[in-house]
């Protein structure tokens, strides 16, 4: 198996080289616009403890919307199914930062992984944690055994200075009674969580509990029940790639979460997790090379068929 996985990663690494330059970095956030675009890393963490990596898999990058997965897990652990009184469970079909549906649906975001939904999740956590950034970092540090993991102050400030649409969404939801804290405080927390920096290897390790019935392999912590982990994976499959979720489900067929920093973390139930990073994005805001790399991995490995059969 080890030889096969290494060969698959080496094959993918070679195949993606001609794709550099076909996307563009997230230049609407000034700090991200300065990221070197010609980078690619891919890491795999298996439920049996084995790890594989290729390229820039150990380089830290801004996880951005991938953080929404982990804050959602924290909120689910905190209030359980009460979360669905404030957020829906349906794909939006609109861009991740769209406000279109909020008025017709009375300030209830479609799902936790679009910006409006993630802001509500952050609002929920802001009620519980005086220092939400530390709560999230401590969770991720435990999952990765990386005590130095942190968020980037420059990226957080850059994002906060340009967060006008997110602020508008927060105030709009507050007008419907679906926001408790001040939008300013929630936006501060939200921008810090998005500015968390991790590598492919760390992200693959952090998400392994979703491939293992909610149990984290490294720490032995039961992060979620088996049923809750299955439901999180279902939402990642249907809502994790912005308004390209249907296309990703068709091409790749895995629960996954993307981020405009160029990262994608994907779950192969009963087998492991994969994280891929390349900063150049496609028109939907997902990593152009990352999407290709995940699709090729599933074609080469056949893991999607194996996980469904288990």
Query: Which of 5, 52, 65, 98 is labelled catalytic?
Result: 65
190 is catalytic: yes
Question: Cα separation of 60 and 62, whole Å?
Answer: 7
Our answer to whether residue 171 is catalytic in this structure is no
- 37, 281 Cβ separation under 8 angstroms: no
Q: Is 301 a catalytic residue?
A: no
The verdict on whether residue 154 carries a ligand-binding annotation is no
For strands 256-258 and 272-277, give the pairing.
Answer: unpaired
Asked whether residue 175 is marked as a ligand-binding residue, the answer is no
Q: Is 65 among the annotated ligand-binding positions?
A: yes
Find all residues with CB under 8 Å of 71, minimum gap 6, and list them. Answer: 118, 121, 122, 125, 136, 193
Q: What is the chain's Cα-based Rg?
A: 18
28 is in an annotated binding site: no
| Sign of the CA dihedral with 124 first, then 172, 160, and 284 last | positive
* Angle formed at CA 150 by CA 144 and CA 155, multiple of 5 degrees: 130
DSSP 253: -
Instruction: Mark whether 65 is an active-site residue.
Output: yes
- The answer on whether 62 is annotated among ligand-binding residues is no
Q: Of residues 54, 121, 155, 260, which has the active-site annotation?
A: 260
The enclosing H or E element of 197 equals: strand 196-198
Catalytic residue among 5, 54, 190, 276: 190
248 is catalytic: no
Q: Which one of 68, 92, 98, 120 is the catalytic residue?
A: 68
Residue 250, marked binder: no
Binding-site positions read 65, 115, 159, 166, 190, 242, 260
Annotated binding residues for substrate = 65, 115, 159, 166, 190, 242, 260
Q: Which residues are catalytic?
A: 65, 68, 190, 242, 260
């Amino acid at each position: 198996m080890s030889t096969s996985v290494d060969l698959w990663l080496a094959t993918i690494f070679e195949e993606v080289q001609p794709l550099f330059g076909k996307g563009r970095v997230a230049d609407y956030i000034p700090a991200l616009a300065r990221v070197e675009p010609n980078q690619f890393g891919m890491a795999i963490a298996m439920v049996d403890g084995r790890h594989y990596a290729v390229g820039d898999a150990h380089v830290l990058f801004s996880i951005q919307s991938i953080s929404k997965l982990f804050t959602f897990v924290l909120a689910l652990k905190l209030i359980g199914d009460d979360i669905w009184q404030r957020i829906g469970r349906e794909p939006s079909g609109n861009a991740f930062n769209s406000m279109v549906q909020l008025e017709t649906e009375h300030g209830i975001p479609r799902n936790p992984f679009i910006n409006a939904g993630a802001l509500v999740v952050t609002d929920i956590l802001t009620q519980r944690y005086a220092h939400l950034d530390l709560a999230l970092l401590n969770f991720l540090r435990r999952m990765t055994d990386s005590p130095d993991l942190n968020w980037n102050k420059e990226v957080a400030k850059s994002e906060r200075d340009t967060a006008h649409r997110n602020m508008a969404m927060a105030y709009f939801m507050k007008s419907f009674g679906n926001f408790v804290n001040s939008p300013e405080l929630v936006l501060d927390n939200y921008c810090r969580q998005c500015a968390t920096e991790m590598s492919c290897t760390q992200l693959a390790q952090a998400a392994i509990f979703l491939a293992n019935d909610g149990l984290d392999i490294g720490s032995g912590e039961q992060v979620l029940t088996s049923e809750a982990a299955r439901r999180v994976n279902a939402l990642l499959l249907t809502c994790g790639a912005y308004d390209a979720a249907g296309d990703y489900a068709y091409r790749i067929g895995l629960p996954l979460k993307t981020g405009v920093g160029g990262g994608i973390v994907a779950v192969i139930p009963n087998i492991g997790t994969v994280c891929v990073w390349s900063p150049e994005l496609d028109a939907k805001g997902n990593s152009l090379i990352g999407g290709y790399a995940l699709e090729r991995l599933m074609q080469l490995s056949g893991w999607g068929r194996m996980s469904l059969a288990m």
